[in-house]
Amino acid sequence: MHELVVLRAAGTALLLDVGGPALPRVVHWGADPGDLTTGQARTLALAAAPALPNSGLDAPWAPSLVPSEADGWSGRPGVAGWRPSGGPPPRLRLVQPVEVSTADDTQVLRAAAADEEAGVAVEVELRLEPCGVVRVRHHVTPTSSDGWVVAGALPLLPIGGQATEVLDLTGRWCRERSPQRSPLLHGGRVRESRRGRTGHDATLLMVAGTAGFGFRHGEVWGVHAAWSGDHVHLVDRLPEARAMLGGGELLRPGEVVLGDGETYSTPWSVFSWSDAGLDGLSARLHEHVRHRAHHTRSPRPVVLNTWEAVYFEHDLDRLRELADVAADVGVERFVLDDGWFLGRRDDTAGLGDWYVDPDVWPDGLHPLVEHVRGLGLQVGLWVEPEMANPDSDLVRDHPGWLLCGPGREPLLWRGQLVVDVAHPDAHRYLLERLDALVGEYRLDYLKWDHNRDLHEAVHDGRAGVHAQTRAVYRLVDELRARHPGLEIESCSSGGARVDLGVLEHTDRVWASDTNDAVERQRIQRWTGLLLPPELVGSHVGPARAHTTGRVVELPFRLLTALFGHPGIEWDITTCTPDELDRVRAWAALYRQLRPLLHTGTTVRGDLDAPADGGPGPAVDAGAVLHGVVSEDRRNAAFAYARLESAPDAVPPPVRLPGLDAAQDYRVRWRPEVSSTPPVQQAPPPWMREDDGVVLPGRVLASHGLAVPVLGPGQGVLLTVTAT
């Protein structure tokens, strides 16, 4: 007899058979079927049970929350490992009734199972949040005194049979989060990362969906592993079973060995479903992120970071002048980047020696900090605690603090070695030095960098990425406990540590080391698949990007940086008066739009894809449209950006998504951050109207508005207000 539990929230439902003896089996995950009587729920479970194929199991198979061979699953198991003294693979059976409860509007299911012969117990913790996001993690504990070796523990959920395509992301330094699609074929679509950090090529989300799904259409299922170390995301599809979607920590052989009474808990795997395309998926995920207890809720200040302004050339008078100009144009936080600590004249020395260099700063950082605070600005500092240069006192004095095998010469990456943060003495040193710096200078902010992959990471004689990641989380938490107001950015040679694991401990991420606004448009577009704009650092760099050499006009650089947590990374003491006026107007506009940008719903148009996922050419090749719509749908801001030249001489009208169909709106273009068409061309007539135009939301969504003829690296900002 089926004993069914239905969890539902925000149009999403999970239907689970909890009757045992195995762990709960997932009958359905997706659209909420509505209120069902007990009989109707059982009928739905019966109707969902598959037929029996030839040469297959003798009973219908439904995936449990921890699928395994013992249940008939031949894909990647939910939990794998072994008892050192020997035993069979785990055949998990419930040891107590499944518990379902509600806490803070979140529905929580806990299921405890064990296999005494295999020597292991597993508790599954599943949470369906009010926004429809499902979070799952497993707790693995030995049941015998000889312990248990964890080979893997991976939350998995089944997806609908209508899913035929897979979207994931890849990338490299300065080109993070590039989308790639593939058919959902038999076998596994697996993305594994053994980089010791999330990685520039990390998928961020693994998404399966109906054919041609896009931002505004299609049914999609997605998963994100909230973890900053080695990880895996996958879609596993077998000919005789439902496809399974999963993600979690990737463990090396022997990395986690549990002793008697010890427990391994997986990171949270974050699942989301939507029948409104990728924007619907993002809306749920953004709501989840924004409802975390520690999510930043103070207005995100305009930042000036000194890196691309001065690099390693630290000079007090020059930095004071930079701060003066920054304050004048509306900057609210001044961050001193790399180059301030002992022996740090270039990137080959000093890393690890976290003392202010007296040769450059004879009075410490106090003269600069006092000047910046006198201008009314917050103060931040760049650090990279997890790394060290061979030319450093840390490495010379404490070679045993490095994350590598004993007696082995570690590989260099950017001239850097990795500090074993899980080493008690190294951990203690880093905490003491960071605590001293934050305390002495009353720092508001740390830009916490991490500039290399972890290769041959060994801690206490075994694979060390798991211990390193946990130790870094603990170090950040201990520092913040001592300084509760401190904010920390997760930077990792740009966007190589962007995940919800590190964001449990930090306040924003640096999306990429490139400030090339053309590259940034796509990087930020796909970073926004998971993260709301207020968590994504986005800066205005100089006209010529130092990472790509591309020259981009100022209005487009300002427009691109607006849709994130904006800042400036540019020597603005060299700006012309006109450039400073533009930056000042941009900062004022950002402060005006900040409440909308950082609380509203992110929307994106599918201009660079065929209409509605069908065959044929793109709607507007080489252009992107994105925006933010307020929760009450009375206000919005949209950016139309051209990244490549268009095949058509005149672009088609741009339709504005996410508005209230029944509401009238006034649409204005904002010249402060918009490109000016060449003199021989004219903008659309409506843009010449002082007060813009007023149209119903349904018309703006179905017919749209004409946009100017623009070249690559140009764009316009439209603001929309209900009349």
Positions marked catalytic? 449, 513
Which residue matches tokens 């068409």? 677
Residue 268: name the closest of 407, 153, 176, 380 by CA.
153
Question: Residue 563, Cβ neighbours under 10 Å: how many?
Answer: 27
Q: Which 8-state DSSP code applies to residue 312?
A: T
d(CA 558, CA 672): 9
Query: Which residues face 108 on adjacent strands?
Result: 101, 127
Indicate the burial class of 435 (C-beta count within 10 angstroms; 0-12, 13-18, 19 or more). Answer: middle
Contact of 371 with 320, CB cutoff 8 Å: yes
Helix or strand holding residue 447 (H, E): strand 445-448
CB 550 within 8 A of CB 293: no
What are the backbone angles phi and psi of residue 64, rounded to the nearest 5°?
-85, 175
Measured CA angle at 626 (ends 625, 631), to 5 deg? 145
Closest CA to 555 of 511, 517, 596, 510: 517
Q: Examine residue 21 and say whether the peptide bond preceding it is cis (omega within 30 degrees of 0).
A: yes
8-state DSSP, 687 = G
CB 275 within 8 A of CB 217: no
Sign, CA torsion 316/448/177/270: negative
Query: CA angle 206-123-189, nearest 5°?
Result: 20
Kindly state the tokens that stand for 170: 């890849």
Three-state secondary-structure class, residue 51:
coil
**What gap in Å lies between CA 711 and CA 649, rounded to an integer?**
11
Q: How far is 318 from 371, CA to CA, in rounded Å? A: 12
Q: What is the rounded CA–CA span in Å between residue 68 and residue 501? A: 27
Q: Is 41 helix (H, G, I), strand (E, B) or coil?
A: helix
Instruction: Identify which of 469, 466, 530 has the alpha carbon closest to the alpha carbon of residue 495.
Output: 530
Tokens 């070695």 — which residue?
Answer: 417
Q: What residues contact 409, with CB distance under 8 A and at least 6 apart?
A: none
Which residue(s) pair with 381 in the sheet?
A: 336, 446
H or E stretch at 115: strand 106-115
> Would you say 185 and 110 are in contact if contact means Cβ atoms under 8 Å apart?
no
String of DSSP letters for 488-556: EEE-BTTBSS-STTGGGT-SEEE--S---HHHHHHHHHHHTTTS-GGGEEEEE--SB-TTT--B--HHH
Among candidate residues 326, 366, 252, 305, the one with its CA nearest the CA of residue 491: 305
CA distance 271 to 273: 7
- List the structure tokens of 683: 């903008």
Q: Which amino acid is at 212?
A: G
What's the rounded Cα separation, in Å, for the pair 342 and 357?
A: 4
Place of tokens 């200040």: 301
User: Where do the DSSP E strands lie in 195-281?
Assistant: 206-209, 220-225, 231-237, 244-249, 256-258, 264-265, 269-274
Structural contact between residues 565 and 300, judged by C-beta atoms closer than 8 angstroms:
yes
